[in-house]
Amino acid sequence: MTSKPKVKLDRNRRARKAKRKSLTKPIRKSNQHPTAQPDCPYRAGTLYGSLFVEGNRDYITKVELIRKVAELTKKSEKVVNFAYQVLKSPKHRSNKNRSTELTEGERVKLIPIRKNH
């Protein structure tokens, strides 16, 4: 029986270092959206965040609010309507008791739920 010559395994298992294209360090942008509001309980720049900011400004009809946010976020009104349903019900699992709605006749306003620690 002849055995195959043993090849050094370390040579094959070592990861090769990638060549750098540029020697300068990349500039990292912060995660914070420039229009982030301190009283918004949702991440800025997301559909929930945009919807909450628009709905928190003043009392507005639900149809106007959904149409406005759909234009801003370039999402369909059906998607924005679902997001609105989530934000208005504190018990929804995606809301996590962060916001609810106030109604004044036909008009609505989204408000944050403050937790007292």
pLDDT per position as a tens digit, 30-55: 544 455 677 889 998 899 999 999 99
The mean pLDDT value of the chain amounts to: 83
Q: Which residues of the chain have pLDDT under 70?
A: 1, 5-23, 25-36, 117
User: Domain residues of the chain, as ranges?
Assistant: 38-117
Q: How many CB atoms lie within 10 A of CB 65?
A: 22
Amino acid type, 24: T
pTM summary value: 0.67
Question: What pLDDT does residue 32 have?
Answer: 47
| CATH 1.10.3470 corresponds to the domain 38-117 | no
